[in-house]
Homo-oligomer: A and B are copies of this chain.
């Protein structure tokens, strides 16, 4: 089963927005998520490998992402991972996408002025 997972990292590109032919708003950005490992030699945490994802939001989340997220910010993303590969003209292409259900700025790295736009649900 593919459950919701949480990814933390930084926004590596500007936000791209669009509307599907069916009229659903979408927003996306590139997320870099860097592993940290404890280095015993120096007794400090150091950066390790970075995973790259394309984060996709839809509907109301897409609108709020478009108004709120900027390149360089630190974010938390909750969503479903979707790894895909396909062939075209004899070459194999790959993508790592997160179908986002929630996105938020990480207050560990900054402060935010937030205005609730939805009254439905918690």
Assess the B112–A105 pair: CB atoms within 8 A: yes
Q: Which of A4, A9, A47, A104 has the most CB of B within 10 A?
A: A104
Cβ of A94: which chain B residues have Cβ within 8 Å of it? 85, 92, 94
Assess the A34–B122 pair: CB atoms within 8 A: yes
Taking Cβ atoms with an 8 Å cutoff, the residues of A that contact B are: 1-6, 8-10, 32-36, 38, 40, 43, 47-49, 51-53, 57, 60-61, 63-65, 67-70, 72-76, 78, 80-85, 91-92, 94, 96, 101-118, 121-122
Other than the known A1-B34, A49-B84, A68-B113, what 16 A-B pairs have Cβ atoms closer than 8 Å? Answer: A2-B33, A2-B36, A6-B76, A8-B102, A51-B82, A51-B83, A60-B108, A64-B110, A69-B107, A70-B114, A73-B114, A74-B116, A81-B81, A83-B96, A110-B115, A112-B112
